[in-house]
Chains A and B, each alone.
Chain A
Amino acid sequence: MLRPTRMKKIQILVLEGLRYEIIKRLQELGTIHLTDYSEKLADPEWRSLLRPCSLSPNIRKISALNIAVNRLLDLFERYHPEEREGFIKGIFAPLPPRRLETREIYGKELIDTVDDIIKKIEAEVEGPVRELEKIEQEILELDRTKGLLALILPLEIALEDIGESVFLSISLGIIPKEEIENIRERLQELTENNFYLGARETSENKLVAILICLKEQASFVLANLRRLNWERIEIEGQQGKPKEAIDSIDKRLVALGEDRARKEEIIVDIAKRWRDELKKHRELLMVERQREESQNKFAEMEHIVAIEGWIPKDSSAQAVQEIREVSHKACVVEVLDPGGKDDVPVQLKNPKLVRSFEVLTRLYGLPTYNGVDPTLFLVPGFLLFFSIMLTDAMYGVIALVLGLLLIRGGGRYNQFIKDGGVILSSAGAATIFIGALSGGWFGSFGLKLTLLAALQVFDPMIQVTAFLLIALTIGLAHVNVGVVINIVDNFKRKDIWKAISENLWFLFVQPGLGLFLVGYKSLGLLFIVIALILLFMGHKAMSMFQVTGFMGDILSYARLMALGLCTTGIAMTVNVLSGMLYAGGSIGILFALIVFFIGHLFNFLINAMGSFVHGLRLHYVEFFTKFYQSGGTEFTPLEMRFEIVQIK
């Protein structure tokens, strides 16, 4: 509870041929955190005995299969998207996750099965996908042509007449309205008046024009016209007048649309039949891949594979037994205590409700293996600070209700949501308690009820100085707890020098000052002198900064009072504003209610966030720094983690 789970180092030597069986059993046990042998093999002495394990040939095959499976699932998602739960619903009232049953498949059988499935699906899907691509292409082309045709709609000419004949060139273009005279002049020059230009208005203040000129002059003329903003329009493969062409294109588009829908139906059908199978096997493949990739951490020699890892002390006996069983006793297994220099992975161990608060410790960083697990101390401190800073019982009720909804909603299936719910509801409960004592029920609104008013023992807005003193005293106590943890921890670690010289002076200077101030001057002075000696012993030149550091730490707790007042102050403001609106007749009452509701909601959100953040911050900066060593590695055992699959 106060220290991470005690670990043992486990070393296994096993016959090469049993490699797969061993790793499968270790994965099923789920209690061993594998260490990478390659770190050890940097040492030449080790390298003379062992080599790094050769890569398993299956990894590449599994990767390829994975890519193919994902590609198919993406295709299915495109044409038959899966239903997803809305965000809010997912948090507060999610449906139980769907599980797909299967028998256990692994190894070569799994790879062959998946290969088979992929080939089957690809055979079915290949045709329709290719057809769909062709259809999409044609639709694109037709749409483009339709766009051009729409531009030249005002010209009532047969499209097959556009182009070149024996002597003439007939071409179409779009020109800005203002240019038409320039173009006519230019044409007169270029063709010595041997041309015909007809124009009609079309969209966007432009004219669509038809130009007839001599064939041999065509390219010359058109090149010149381009400089006068003549946009040439070329349309291929169409007959009849533009309107007729558009109609025939529309007919074709309808037919293509129907064809496309038909082909998409085929794919949807395939998706319905195969999607679950693919998802199931994708997960099985992932587990298999983990087995293959973990083998990279092993080392080998002649016919032997060497495996090293960490295992919680309490699970070691069972693990040894299982390993012996699966290898038919052809193995050597050793369980050792961690050495001084080992980076032992850290698994936090806390009782059930405290466990939900571990996420707050993790936010800062895991403790080192030999350090203290502060989560247990964090719980009462955090709840106290949060409730003092939020200071309103009704806000506490809101938090409590939200927290409970989270626990009973998303918390049933998602550990993270559950942790959030536990933290929020316990913080809410604590706030109800403190809020009742300080008379905060939506500010002073609730005090109209005599029952609630009777609970009040303290008015933060009036007894301001007292509130400040309470906050500072809490700070002093909290810092002392941190110092005591530090000293006890050092003693336990047999580091007596550190235990005495680091912070012990602080525990002497307080009674010293206290005694001095109440009149026991000589006794007080004695304690102070001892404190000063300890201080200089431990910190020499930096002693002054230790003193100011502690002073700053304690003052920092003044924020408990400041933020508490802030919440109460804003609640009071909201009440005053809605009170003023309330007096304004029936419209006023409506606005008053709106302001009351939104104002208190806003106050709750802002100050709940603030209380959360500052409550944590006080722990991280003023409390943890006294004794906490972060930087531990997380204990991540090799395990079978199934989200969708359920092994029968």
Chain B
Amino acid sequence: MELSTGIVLAIIGAAISMGVAAISAGVGVGLAGVAGAGVISEDPKKFGPVLVLQALPQTQGIYGFLGAVLILIGVGVLGGTVKEIPLGMGYAALGGGIVIGLSSITAVAQGAISASGMGAVAKRPETFGQSVVLAVMAETFAIFGLLIAILIFVGTKIMGG
């Protein structure tokens, strides 16, 4: 099967989107998990809030996944026949993948916030909601990254029929 350079670029874009997002989300969730283990070692009853706080940095990984899937579906690698797409479109897909991947690095910071939030909850359980809000603030930029990528995909007709 001969793949045009455009398709290959799009696939690389999808790879960057998911790959970098996976690293970032992994590190973020890891930071939070390390703190979480400390909290439940002192009080296992706090597992619920700890789990929720640990789940928050995961969303960047989901955005990376979504971006990769949108690219792959858009160029036909997934679910249909591989299309012949022009080189430019391939670059556009690559660009979209890069923006999602880079903006997902906010998950690392979000993981650090979640970790401190767990410390707050360990000391004062009533601060759980506020800790969640603090952690979510870091996600704004990942969302903007996803947004720009979607706009790129729509504008270059990778998405949106």
Taking beta carbons and an 8 Å cutoff, which residues of A are in contact with B?
363-364, 461-465, 468, 555-556, 558-559, 561-563, 565-566, 569-570, 572-573, 576, 579-580, 606, 609-610, 613-614, 616-617, 620-621
Contact = CB atoms under 8 A, between A and B. Distances in A.
B143 A562 contact: yes
Contacts of B34: none
A621 B140 CA distance: 12
A461 B159 CA distance: 8
B140 A580 contact: no
A609 B55 contact: yes
Interface stretch (B2-10, B61-69, B81-89, B112-120): B61-69
A617 B137 contact: yes
B130 interface: yes
A566 B63 CA distance: 7
15 contacts: A461-B160, A463-B160, A464-B150, A468-B151, A558-B144, A558-B147, A559-B143, A562-B146, A562-B147, A562-B150, A566-B62, A573-B65, A573-B66, A573-B69, A576-B79
A606 B62 contact: yes
A463 B150 CA distance: 12
A617 B137 CA distance: 8
A573 B151 CA distance: 19
Nearest to A563: B143
A462 B154 CA distance: 8
Given A364-B130, A613-B136, A465 B79 contact: no
Nearest to B79: A576
A182 B49 CA distance: 61
B66 A569 contact: yes
B18 to A, nearest CB: 12
Interface in B121-146: 129-130, 132-133, 136-137, 139-140, 143-144, 146
For the complex, would chain A's binding face be called helix, strand, loop or mixed by DSSP majority? helix
A561 B147 contact: yes
B65 A570 contact: yes
A621 B69 CA distance: 31
A613 B147 contact: no
B108 interface: no
B106 interface: no
Contacts of B78: 576
Nearest to B68: A573
Nearest to A603: B62
A565 B150 contact: yes
Contacts of B133: 363-364, 613, 616-617, 620-621
Contacts of A565: 66, 150
B73 A576 contact: yes
B160 A462 contact: yes
**Residue among B78, B137, B146 having the largest count of chain A Cβ atoms under 10 Å:** B146
Given A566-B66, A606-B59, 8 more contacts: A468-B147, A555-B144, A559-B143, A562-B147, A573-B65, A573-B73, A606-B62, A621-B137
B22 to A, nearest CB: 15
B62 A464 contact: no
B52 interface: yes
Contact of A465 (B55, B58, B137, B154): B154
Contacts of A609: 52, 55
Contacts of A559: 140, 143, 147
**Residue among B55, B130, B150 having the largest count of chain A Cβ atoms under 10 Å:** B150
Given A363-B130, A364-B129, A464-B150, A570 B62 contact: yes
Contacts of B66: 565-566, 569-570, 573
A364 B133 CA distance: 9
A580 B147 contact: no
B107 interface: no
B96 to A, nearest CB: 13
B4 to A, nearest CB: 22
A80 to B, nearest CB: 23
Contacts of A579: 79
- 4 closest A-B pairs (Cβ-Cβ)? A363-B129, A576-B79, A464-B154, A559-B143
A580 B150 CA distance: 25
B21 interface: no
A522 B153 CA distance: 40
B79 A558 contact: no
A260 B132 CA distance: 51
B70 interface: yes
Contacts of B63: 566
Contacts of B139: 614
B154 to A, nearest CB: 4
A310 B139 CA distance: 43
Nearest to A573: B69
Interface in B147-161: 147, 150-151, 154, 159-161
Contacts of A463: 160
A354 B56 CA distance: 28
Contacts of B129: 363-364
A558 B69 CA distance: 21
B140 A572 contact: no
Contacts of B137: 617, 621
A606 B147 contact: no
